[in-house]
């Protein structure tokens, strides 16, 4: 990935040098030309293009923002009700994530969302113990984590 970024910048600066155009627009044109060249040569790289990983990071951040807004709304709605009708639970979640930083990102995302806190992580980093404010169906909660956050993290981290 770093090689692709460096190659793209080299193509952009080569374009600026050849046309003696040292402006931001000259760099952007060269950069876009570099993206097109990298896209044309993508089969010669053993990893996916770095722009795909960048797009995956943007999607993960968008997912995080959306979940922050939705979960904040749910928590505020539950707190402002006259009758507190919640079902708190502590549940065990087995993750498919393997590296320490993937698990750390998942834990951070879960703790940032109002209504859930990761209490404990097993020694092998494969099992998380999560306290959730309102659980109607534990399996649905696990599936929502697996199909949203975990899938987005895997898309960012694995090529």
Range of 81-85, 105-109, 114-118 with top mean pLDDT: 105-109
Write out the two tokens for 87.
């079902």
Q: Can you tell me the mean pLDDT for 76-94?
A: 87
C-alpha–C-alpha distance, residues 107 and 18, integer Å:
49
Sheet arrangement for strand 89-94? 89-94, 127-132, 116-121
Give the tens place of pLDDT for each residue, 49-68: 888 888 899 999 999 999 88
Quote the pLDDT of residue 46.
82
Task: Identify the pLDDT of residue 159.
Answer: 56
Task: Please tell me the predicted confidence (pLDDT) of residue 72.
Answer: 87
CB neighbour list of residue 90: distance below 8 Å, 6 or more residues apart? 119, 129, 130, 131, 132
Quick check: 123 and 88 in contact, CB under 8 A?
no
């Amino acid at each position: 990935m770093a090689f692709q970024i460096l190659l793209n910048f080299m193509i952009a600066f080569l374009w600026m040098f050849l046309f003696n155009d040292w402006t931001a627009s000259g760099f952007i044109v060269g950069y876009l030309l570099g993206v097109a060249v990298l896209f044309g040569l993508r089969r010669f790289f053993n990893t996916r293009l770095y722009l795909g990983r960048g797009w995956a990071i943007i999607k993960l951040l968008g997912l995080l923002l959306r979940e922050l807004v939705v979960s904040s709304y749910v928590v505020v709605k539950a707190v402002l009700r006259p009758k507190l009708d919640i079902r708190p639970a502590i549940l065990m979640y087995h993750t498919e994530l393997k590296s320490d930083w993937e698990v750390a990102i998942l834990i951070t995302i879960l703790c940032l969302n109002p209504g859930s806190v990761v209490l404990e992580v097993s020694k092998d980093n494969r099992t998380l113990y999560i306290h959730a404010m309102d659980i109607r169906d534990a399996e649905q909660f696990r599936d929502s984590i697996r199909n949203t956050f975990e899938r987005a993290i895997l898309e960012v981290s694995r090529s």
